[in-house]
Amino acid sequence: MVSFIIRRLVSMIPVMLMVATGVFLLLKLTPGDPVGVILGPDATEERRQALRDDLGLNDPLILQYVRWLGDAARGDLGDSLFLNQPVLTSLWERAEPTLVLTLLSTLVALSIGLPTGILAAQNRGKWLDMGSMGIAILGISMPTFWLGLNLILIFAVTLRWLPVAGYAPLSEGLWESLRYMILPAITLGVAQAALLARMTRSMMLDVLSAEYVRVARAKGLRERRVVYFHALRNALIPLINVAGLIFAALLGGAVVTEQIFNIPGIGRLLIQAVGRRDVPLVQGTVLVIAAIYVLVNLIVDIFSAVLDPRLRQT
Amino acid sequence: MAITADSLAGAIERRSRWTQLRLTVGRNRNVLVGGSLLLLIVAVAVLAPVLMTHDPSFQDPGERLLAPSSEYLLGTDGSGRDVFSRVVKGAQLSLLVGIGVATATSIIGGFIGLITGFVPRVDAPVMRVMDGLMAFPGIILAIGIMAVRGAEISNVILALTVVNTPRMARVVRSVVLGLANTQFVEAAKSSGCTLWRILGVHLLPNTLSPLIVQASFVFAEAVLGEATLSFLGAGAPPEVPSWGGMLSESRLFLSQASWTMIAPGAALTFTVFALNLLGDGLRDMLDPRLRHR
Amino acid sequence: MSSYLERALSAKADRREFALGAAGALALGASGAGAQDEISEGGNLQIAIIGEPPAVADAVFTTATITNNIAQQMFEGLFTFDESFNPQPMLIEDYDSSADGLEFSFRLRSGITFHNGDPLTSADVVASLNRWGEINGRGRLIFDRMNSIEAPDETTVRMVFDQPSGVLPSFLARSEAMITPASVAEAAGAEQIPEDQLIGTGPFRFEEHAIDQYLRLARFDDYVSRDEESNGLAGRRTPYLDSIDFVPVPDESVRANGLITGEYHFADVLSADLAEMLELDPGVESINVQPYYWYSPHFNKAAGLFTNQALRHAVQLCFSQSESMLAGFGREEFVRFDASICGEETAWYSTAGSDAYDNPDLDQARALLEEGGYDGETVRWIATREYPYNFLMADYIRQQMEAIGMNVELVVSDWATLVQNRADPDAYEIFLTGHSQYSHPATQPFNDPTWPGFWESEAKTDLVNAMIAETDPDALSTIIDDYTTLVWEEMPFVKCGDNFVLRGRRAEVVGYVNVPDFFFWNVGLNG
């Protein structure tokens, strides 16, 4: 098991290197001047050159790349050009909103998706199944931003029950923070709930038709116990895989959702950093997101391997 | 014209194949409904010049933010443009990008999948690159590419193709991997077939079903992706009517003119819904192994 | 004194007139005076701004408008502007200047302390202005003419110039000439001031900064106000509010919707399209900010086609400047068709260019193309869609240029790219941008020949020098007339017109005065 984990960790390295190099090249190919954005429209050319020198932007590309890569390997992602603070600090400060948003949307996804999927599987072929699966396809087809706008229109602008946008940190109280997060979490969670419902249903159907479930039934166990105890537990293995996928999708979806609801999270940070050509910040952010993505996949694989030893060989 | 036995047999076979297809499609409600809805959207896009009641780009400051009426079926937007005509026109962009991305992704991703699945030497390096691409959040990668290349429809297609190719490659690769050691491929190898012949004649046809299924989902992803990029202001140039762009503009008038938001969003959802339904149905029909009942 | 009063009154009258002229479509921001005794103390004001300010509040470091506007709440300079944009004493009691404009002696007000409790001394002023002279473009302009700046005693600052510099107070009144403790200025140098060192003398002090969430300023309890009646930024400053949060909200629709739903009390830069909607909402007041900015395509005069003056004139003659403003900004209440490079609200207004302005003549334009030897070369116009007007105006003018047979390619990119490209003389022929209508013409960036567009002209240098030197208002007016004439003659850019910006505030925000660089002292929250 340990060697499996080590092997998997080592295999992360080339992927991360790929990502790092890719981001660096992409950003260097992108025209744009961070200095012009920082110093404002009236700055003199002399001053712009001086700041570029200060920031090391006039150095040869390869030198910039090696320097950045070396620092990154030591865990130093450099300083944001625009925000004038270490990239890791910028990321750390944005972690809370994004994490809260991601967790709450996962909660939304689980609490809607799982029961719907189970119910649909139990009622396979009946109107409940077909209806809920129809809605699920609709759910994955609806763009998150359109759902978000509809929610804003109804609950924020018209009814004024919840704020249109913004963020209150958890330190200001759970309810205050939740008030701001309800709409974004639903916006982001619904599509994942739909996805989860579809997956849960199909896995439940796989499992319900499996041998041991038939045995359990034959033993005269009550249907409910069969479904919730035997079947669901076994369906959880593939569902862990799905959870990994959903987490990754949420990170990507957070970009758009944070933009609509003006949430100061990692997604919005990234979009703004691209607009300001804040190269170290973009590099650092993408690298960290990619690392999280790869790590989540690793954790998923480890879980699966623990539950199913056959997987350790591959 | 003489009817030869051959041509007759061919005709019968064709006929029965056609019947079979019709029967399968007929039995598969998802393909039927999804396909019909998609055809409807294609028809709207093709017939746009006839359907549009106004010039979709004509700005009339005196007619700003009018509610839906018989003159303006879906009202007017913040610049006094007819929302209905813009929604109709927007179907063209969505389909263009969707078809473009689905085609490019199928060709490039299919090729990569074939090669990596069958030639172990190229497998590891190429799949690392694919892993690297997949570790980017897709939308960020697309925004990055748009920033480098500039706001053009062709660049939107390019960006979304790059984003969607790795998954296509993986699907095809996994099919090829499953076939690589089967008897008929072994037989082809031992009989001295060239690599390209094995790939093209023996493996390619077997990957077509999963490829088509995946392509239909890529189509849906691309339509959504284009809308998202345009919504974030990183998509097609703003003078091209786009559902995502319309949604972005509608936000300013949310409380005042919600129809500017509802119409393009509904069109977008409808299109992606049709594509997902079709994809689901095609999967059930063509690729029983991936079947989700 | 009487002339000052007169100016102030006439400016006021002008504005009223305009407010009525706009058919009552837009209420004026608010009336400043008179609201004084109704304002209650306390409260937290939420202000939606267009984005995170670069360098937080260090207006010496960056020329970004948003940073300057925030800095103004916390920092003060030796002078500030009244509502007619004339410099008025701020941190100084009074000053003497020699008639030749070579020597200035400033006496600081007594009893003023910084936010950290230290008293303001002349050494702080010298150190702060030295930093300004070193890293700020306009500061550099002044310091290049300067012989010495010194502090003969605790409360006196003396400046001696090599060349006459009568314009000095107008430069010192800008928020970038802000005074910090000497230790802060010296430690920062060419770097930006760290957050915990943002120490000024203003009515509000730095409290807390959560990047992308809020920048919180708190009332400075030991603030010592001037006694004069408030007038623009000048005069009495009373901080009523407990605190102000500047919330970066890059998305315009979120600013608008947040203002309507009461999430924010004040929203900066809103689309003019929202004016009517805000008007209809009883909880919100719309604010039409004028003067604000004027817009012009700048020709690249360092390389390529438009080194040729005839071709620059051909472009100016081929399109209607007023139409281009309407194309860019849409709504008539927010544009003004004017040839002057300073708003009519200011003392620097000039009608010198009116004849040439907005007088398209296609035949003459074609003749000038011929004369300039234009032969179908491609004009690269770099534009951005990040600011809609930028693309819309460029696109309109492009069509008109093509109508007289020019070949125009719009190279569209985002703002960060445009800023980079416009500094490269080989990268473009035209770009478009805006400039303040309420700035002394000598402070405009395009006077600097290294600034994008690269306006190199002896006549211009002479006139700018004369403007900077002049101490007499009437003589200055003549110079500005000449300068404006020169602008329309050498045509370094085509002034298309003035634009006003829409802001919004909640009705419970009282005491707000409509000035281009907003301020929140004398402002309270009622109800």
Domain-embedded: residue B145: yes
pLDDT at C276 over 70: yes
Domain-embedded: residue A297: no
Q: Do residue A139 and residue A81 come from a single domain? A: no
pLDDT at C318 over 70: yes
Query: What whole-number distance in Å separates Cα of residue B43 and Cα of residue B73?
Result: 19
A10-14, C27-31, C222-226, C432-436 — which is least confidently predicted?
A: C27-31
Please give the CATH number for the structural domain made up of C290-500.
Answer: 3.10.105.10
B-facing residues of A in 78-137 (CB < 8 A) are 124, 137
Residue A235: predicted pLDDT: 66
Nearest CA distance, B47 vs chain A (angstrom): 24
Residue B147: predicted pLDDT: 80
pLDDT in tens, C407-431: 999 888 878 888 889 989 999 999 9
pLDDT in tens, C335-377: 999 999 999 999 999 999 889 999 999 999 999 999 999 999 9
Give A308's pLDDT tier (boundaries 50, 70, 90): low
Domain-embedded: residue A238: yes
The CA distances from residue A275 to B147, C415, C457, in Å, are 9, 8, 35
- Phi/psi of residue B254, nearest 5 degrees: -55, -45
Q: Do residue A255 and residue A125 come from a single domain? A: yes
Interchain pair C251, B147: CB under 8 A: no
Contacts of C213 in chain A (CB under 8 A): 167, 169, 264
Closest CB to C413: pick one of B150, B238, B251.
Answer: B150
Give A2's pLDDT tier (boundaries 50, 70, 90): confident
Residue B8: predicted pLDDT: 53
B-facing residues of A in 275-314 (CB < 8 A) are 286, 289-290, 293-294
Residue C27: predicted pLDDT: 38
Query: What whole-number distance in Å separates Cα of residue C258 and Cα of residue C267?
Result: 8
Contacts of B221 in chain A (CB under 8 A): none
Interface probe, candidates C249, C252, C332, C414, chain B, greatest B C-beta count within 10 A: C414
Q: How many residues does chain A have?
A: 314
- HEC states along chain B? CCCCHHHHHHHHHHHHHHHHHHHHHHHCHHHHHHHHHHHHHHHHHHCHHHHCCCCCCCCCHHHCCCCCCCCCCCCECCCCCEHHHHHHHHHHHHHHHHHHHHHHHHHHHHHHHHHHHHCHHHHHHHHHHHHHHHHCCHHHHHHHHHHHHCCCHHHHHHHHHHHHHHHHHHHHHHHHHHHHCCHHHHHHHHCCCCHHHHHHHHHHHHHHHHHHHHHHHHHHHHHHHHHHHHHCCCCCCCCCCCHHHHHHHHHHHCCCCCHHHHHHHHHHHHHHHHHHHHHHHHHHHHCHHHCCC
> What is the token pair recorded at C152?
């003969």
A281-295, C7-21, C27-41 — which is least confidently predicted?
A: C7-21
Reference C489, options C451, C459, C446; nearest CA is C459
Interchain pair C137, A47: CB under 8 A: yes
The complex scores an ipTM of: 0.85
Which of the two residues, B193 and C242, has the higher pLDDT score?
C242
pLDDT at A240 over 80: no
A279-307 vs A2-29: helix crossing angle, rounded to 10: 160
Q: Is B227 in CB contact (< 8 Å) with chain A?
A: yes
Interchain pair B143, A153: CB under 8 A: no
Residue B278: predicted pLDDT: 93
Interchain pair B265, A146: CB under 8 A: yes
Beta bridge partners of C392: none
Contacts of B151 in chain C (CB under 8 A): 385, 412
The CATH number linked to B170 is: 1.10.3720.10
User: Mean of the pLDDT values across residues C478-488?
Assistant: 96
pLDDT in tens, C438-449: 999 999 999 999
Contacts of C413 in chain B (CB under 8 A): 150
pLDDT at B2 over 60: no
Interchain pair C190, A50: CB under 8 A: yes
Pairing of strands C87-89, C378-384: unpaired
Give C331's pLDDT tier (boundaries 50, 70, 90): confident
In percent, how much of chain A has pLDDT > 90? Answer: 25
Give chain B's domain count.
Answer: 1
Q: Is A245 in CB contact (< 8 Å) with chain B?
A: no
Residue A47: predicted pLDDT: 87
pLDDT at C306 over 70: yes
Which of the two residues, C37 and A62, has the higher pLDDT score?
A62
Q: Do residue A251 and residue A123 come from a single domain? A: yes
Interchain pair A22, B220: CB under 8 A: no
CATH architecture of the domain covering C32-265+508-525:
3-Layer(aba) Sandwich (3.40)
Query: What whole-number distance in Å separates Cα of residue C28 and Cα of residue C11?
Result: 14
Give B105's pLDDT tier (boundaries 50, 70, 90): very high
Residue B13: predicted pLDDT: 56
Residue C91: predicted pLDDT: 97
Long-range contacts of C481-484 (CB under 8 A, 24+ apart): C481/C350, C481/C352, C482/C352, C483/C350, C483/C441, C484/C339, C484/C340, C484/C341, C484/C350, C484/C352, C484/C353
Helix (H, G, I), strand (E, B) or coil at A166: coil
pLDDT at A298 over 90: no
DSSP state of C493: B
Segment (H or E) for C248: strand C243-248
Reference C136, options C171, C181, C108; nearest CA is C171
Domain-embedded: residue B238: yes
pLDDT at A228 over 50: yes
Chain C residue closest to A33 (CA)?
C420
Sequence ranges of the domains in chain C: 32-265+508-525, 290-500
Chain B residue closest to C270 (CA)?
B252
User: Mean of the pLDDT values across residues C83-103?
Assistant: 94
Residue C33: predicted pLDDT: 43
pLDDT at C21 over 60: no
Closest CB to A137: pick one of B140, B227, B273.
Answer: B273
User: Mean of the pLDDT values across residues A46-69?
Assistant: 87
Contacts of C138 in chain A (CB under 8 A): 42
Closest CB to C273: pick one of B78, B233, B237.
Answer: B78
Q: Do residue A82 and residue A131 come from a single domain? A: no
Pairing of strands C243-248, C214-219: antiparallel
Chain C residue closest to B60 (CA)?
C330
Which amino acid is it at B115?
A: I
Nearest CA distance, A95 vs chain B (angstrom): 16
Which of the two residues, A15 and C344, has the higher pLDDT score?
C344
Closest CB to A15: pick one of B131, B148, B232.
Answer: B131
- HEC states along C57-118? CCCCCCCCHHHHHHHHHHCCCCEEECCCCCEEECCEEEEEECCCCCEEEEEECCCCECCCCC
Which of the two residues, B79 and C304, has the higher pLDDT score?
C304
pLDDT in tens, A267-294: 889 888 888 888 889 888 888 888 888 8
CA B125 to the chain's CA centroid: 28
- A104 with A172: CB under 8 angstroms? no
Q: Do residue A172 and residue A209 come from a single domain? A: yes
pLDDT at C17 over 50: no
pLDDT at C142 over 80: yes
pLDDT at C524 over 90: yes
> What is the token pair recorded at C318?
């081929």
Task: Tell me the CA end-to-end span of chain C in Å, nearest whole number.
Answer: 39
Interchain pair C330, B61: CB under 8 A: yes
Domain-embedded: residue A131: yes
Q: Do residue A77 and residue A183 come from a single domain? A: no
pLDDT in tens, C253-272: 899 999 999 999 999 999 88
Domain-embedded: residue B79: no
- C240 with C522: CB under 8 angstroms? yes
Q: Do residue A75 and residue A45 come from a single domain? A: yes
Question: Which residue among A59, A86, A113 closes a domain?
Answer: A86
Residue C353: predicted pLDDT: 87
Residue B125: predicted pLDDT: 84
pLDDT at A207 over 70: yes
Contacts of B255 in chain C (CB under 8 A): 257, 260, 277
Contacts of C416 in chain A (CB under 8 A): 32-34, 36-37, 275-277
Interchain pair A42, C257: CB under 8 A: no
pLDDT in tens, B183-234: 777 787 777 778 788 887 778 888 888 899 899 999 999 999 999 999 988 8
Range of the domain at A77: 2-86
Which of the two residues, C37 and C491, has the higher pLDDT score?
C491
Domain-embedded: residue B64: no
This prediction has a pTM of: 0.86
Contacts of B64 in chain C (CB under 8 A): 273
Interchain pair C385, B151: CB under 8 A: yes
pLDDT at A177 over 70: yes
- C423 with C433: CB under 8 angstroms? no
Chain A residue closest to C417 (CA)?
A32
Q: Do residue A111 and residue A244 come from a single domain? A: yes
Interchain pair A36, C423: CB under 8 A: yes
Domain-embedded: residue A287: no
pLDDT at A314 over 90: no
pLDDT at C394 over 60: yes
Range of the domain at B206: 96-293
Which of the two residues, C319 and B30, has the higher pLDDT score?
C319
Give C4's pLDDT tier (boundaries 50, 70, 90): very low
Chain C residue closest to B64 (CA)?
C273
Q: Do residue A157 and residue A116 come from a single domain? A: yes
In percent, how much of chain C has pLDDT > 70? Answer: 93
Q: Do residue A76 and residue A116 come from a single domain? A: no
The neighbours of chain B, by the rule of 3 or more Cβ pairs under 8 Å, are A, C
A7-21, A133-147, A253-267 — which is least confidently predicted?
A: A7-21
User: Mean of the pLDDT values across residues B113-127?
Assistant: 87
- Where b means 16+ CB within 10 Å and e means fewer, C470-502 reads bbeeeebeebbebbbbbbbebbbbbbbbbbbbb
Beta bridge partners of C206: C217
Interchain pair C137, A262: CB under 8 A: no
pLDDT at B21 over 80: no
pLDDT at C46 over 90: yes
Q: Do residue A146 and residue A235 come from a single domain? A: yes
Residue A232: predicted pLDDT: 67
Nearest CA distance, A40 vs chain B (angstrom): 21
Contacts of A31 in chain C (CB under 8 A): 413, 417, 420-421
Residue C503: predicted pLDDT: 96
Domain-embedded: residue A281: no
Interchain pair C414, B237: CB under 8 A: no
Residue B145: predicted pLDDT: 87
Domain-embedded: residue A300: no
